[in-house]
Amino acid sequence: MSGKFERRALLGRALAFGALGALTGCDYDHPHHPDLADRALRAMSSWNDRVQAALFDPATLAPTYRPDQITRPPRFNAYYDLDQVRVVDGESWKLDLFGAIAERRPWRLAELRAAPQESQITRLICVEGWRVVGQWNGVPLHWFLRRIGADLRARYVSVRCADGYYSSIDMASALHPQTILALDFLGRPLTPPFGFPVRLRTPTKLGFKNPKSLVALGVTNVDPGGYWEDQGYNWFSGS
Amino acid sequence: MRSPRSRPIHPWPLRVMHWLNALAILTMIGSGWQIYDAAPIFSFRFPTSITIGQWLGAAIAWHLAAMWLLVLNGIAYLAWGALSGHFRRKLAPPTPRALWRDAVLALRLRLDHRHGVYNAVQRALYLGVIALGVLAVLSGLAVWKPVQLWWLSDLFGGFRASRVVHFLAMAGIVGFLAVHLALVALVPRVLWPMIGGGSAAEEVP
């Protein structure tokens, strides 16, 4: 269990319903004493991770859309406001590789541009409940993982971002044909608010599992967690 | 052997499932309202004071935990109701004529309550809320898994339409609860049999 997970109590203030009130302790704001309800909810969230992994069919594709169905203007969303977006220098940018990878040499943007590309018009569903349709183009992650000699039997693909955001996905979802290292959005190179220079696009998962402005990618068997996941959002968060 | 005289109005499996369902459905509704507030589909929000979870991550955790209780308990109820003969004996769909007659009597407050016997209005309401529960679960699965359960999502008309259906199913269940609780308040003697079982023989008019 990650300590960060405990920082924010899942329960918050007192419950409206008495029957559930019996489950709550009085220490739920204390990071080292998650109450009974917090622990029960975490256990259920882990169970839901396993159920979603079992439900995940590698051959089921996320629905694709026509160009006229693309949401315009695109919707910006992050854990900060638009004016706080970090601007990455594409010339000096590199993608660091770590973990169970045979060739851990960093990748430059031009090298990713020269790799095979996959284009998709897919839907992004936010955990909040809204959805948008966008067009992304980039390097299939399954191609990239094979190219760098990643251990495809490892459990997690972990990513870190220029803005401090981080997340991780299961290997089965990483190898899904529609999971790409996106370089273009709406037919042009990604702009900083939408993840320049590289965004992990995972159309089989919720929006927050699509981290932007990647700076490092690793393969590991130790649960890397994530920015939102560690605060209590369900880790698998598949669609 | 118990004598027929001591037969409970509500057998124990029904009572257990009723209260488990009450716990599950209140948790689902309260956490669902908090989830709704993160991206409202209508021009109102639910006050945080009446929601469960206080913030989106906690509300989702409650919602996706309580769904197991709701679904497993619901399946147990449907299986028990079918196998025990409960549905056949107690919940036969009313004819329109009987429903009209009992609805008019109920609105004039002249419909007698007999323990363990459901009138046409009650049967219609119970069957309706069971159907709404099934609809809420199916549309909820469509919202949760629009890619893996794409056929279910398509059945409801896509992601956004699934959210609307899920909301309307909730609204119908809340409407049922309002009537259900109002009737218990009007006829409080129906409450104890759902807790302790009661005795069917005592109440024959």
Q: What is the pLDDT of residues B104-147, one digit of tens each?
A: 998 888 887 787 788 999 999 999 999 999 999 999 999 999 99
Looking at residue A59, its pLDDT comes to: 97
pLDDT, tens only, B72-97:
999 999 999 999 999 999 999 999 99
> Across chain A, what does the average pLDDT equal?
88
Taking the Cβ of residue B115 and every Cβ of chain A, the question of whether any pair is shorter than 8 Å is answered with: no
Tally of CA atoms within 13 A in the half-sphere of A24 that contains its CB: 20
Distance, CA of B190 to chain centre: 17
How sure is the predictor about A137, in pLDDT bands with cuts at 50, 70 and 90?
A: very high
Structure confidence by residue, pLDDT tens digits, A216-232? 999 999 999 999 999 99
> For the segment A75-122, what is each residue's pLDDT rounded down to a tens digit?
999 999 898 988 999 999 999 999 999 999 999 999 999 999 999 999
CATH fold label, B4-203? Fumarate Reductase Cytochrome B subunit (1.20.950)
Report how far residue A134's alpha carbon sits from residue A71's, in angstroms, rounded to the nearest whole number. Answer: 6
Q: Do A238 and B39 touch (CB under 8 A)?
A: no
| Residue A239 sits at the chain B interface (C-beta within 8 Å) | yes
Q: Is A12 on the interface with B (CB under 8 A)?
A: yes
Q: Where in chain A is the domain with CATH 3.90.420.10?
A: 67-231
Look up tokens 């979870």; give the residue.
B53
Sequence length of chain A is 239
pLDDT score of A7 more than 60: no
Q: Helix or strand or coil: residue A200?
A: strand
Chain A residues inside the 8 Å CB shell of B34? none
pLDDT computed for residue B4 by the predictor: 52
> Which pLDDT does position A36 carry in this prediction?
86
Is there a contact between B64 and A48 if contact means CB atoms under 8 Å apart?
A: yes
**What global pTM score does this model have?**
0.89
Q: What is the CATH number of domain A67-231?
A: 3.90.420.10
Q: What string of H, E and C letters represents the secondary structure of B67-125?
A: HHHHHHHHHHHHHHHHHCCHHHHHCCCCCHHHHHHHHHHHHCCCCCCCCCCCCHHHHHH
Question: What is the model's pLDDT at position B201?
Answer: 59
More confident residue, A29 or B53: B53
Q: What pLDDT is recorded for position B108? A: 87
| pLDDT band at residue A33 using 50, 70 and 90 as cut-offs | low
The reported pLDDT for the residue numbered A8 is: 45
